[in-house]
Amino acid sequence: MPVISQPAFSPDGSRTNGLGDIQFTAFLSPAEGKGLIWGAGPVVQLPTNTDSDLGNDRWGLGPAVVVLRMDGHWVYGALVNNIWSVSSNDDPSYNNFLLQPFINYNFKDGLYLTTSPVITADWKADSDQRWTVPLGGGIGKIVRFGKLPVNLPTQAFYNVEKPEFGPQWTLRLQVQLMFPK
């Protein structure tokens, strides 16, 4: 569930805080993952935003694929999806692409270095306003709260390509609850 704090779009505007739209992805993958691990399935966008500046009030649907490999201390791969709006209302329709390559180097005791930039394209935008391409990375740690493992990554990204009014920087602070088998 994305919690967003977005700066004002104009000097006389104000910051917008709240929830964004949830994107739920489910993957079907082989039961035994050896070598290259993959999964494919749907991605669904739910209009859960608490402010129109933080999302779109249309439902969305599309395909998603993930591939990854684990080699010793390294984990690397990519997530790809495309979401089309499928409901109708007054909000504009959308057609959004996402590519998230990821690389982790894992140390002992759950500490790791990571980069997982979220590269996006808005296929309905003009070609010079279409892409957001971040460059950066960060650090993370898997800790336990009782028996529950929790992933705590922090990453910072500079957007080397962005729409005219897109952000220069992105700071990603996450809390991921993990429910192992």
The pLDDT tens digits for 125-158 are 999 999 999 999 999 999 999 999 999 999 999 9
Read off the pLDDT of residues 55-111 as tens digits, 9 standing for 90 and up: 888 999 999 999 999 999 999 999 999 999 998 777 789 999 999 999 999 999 999
DSSP-derived pairing of the beta strands 119-122 and 95-106? antiparallel
Contact (Cβ atoms closer than 8 angstroms) between residue 101 and residue 78? yes
At which residue do the structure tokens 């691990």 appear? 37
Q: What is the DSSP string of 104-142?
A: EEE-GGGEEEEE---EEEETTS-GGGSEEEEEEEEEEEE
Q: Please return the burial class of 100, using the count of CB atoms within 10 Å of its CB with bins 0-12, 13-18 and 19+.
A: middle
Is pLDDT at 23 greater than 90 in this prediction? Answer: yes
Read off the pLDDT of residues 152-172 as tens digits, 9 standing for 90 and up: 999 999 999 999 988 899 999
What is the chain's mean pLDDT, rounded?
93
Q: Taking the CA of residue 140 as centre, how many other CA atoms within 13 Å lie in the half-sphere pointing to its CB?
A: 24
What's the number of domains the chain is made of? 1
Rounded CA separation 109/132 (Å): 34
- Domain range for 120 is 3-177
Q: Please return the burial class of 96, using the count of CB atoms within 10 Å of its CB with bins 0-12, 13-18 and 19+.
A: buried
Q: What are phi and psi of 128, to 5 degrees?
A: -85, 0
pLDDT at 146: 92
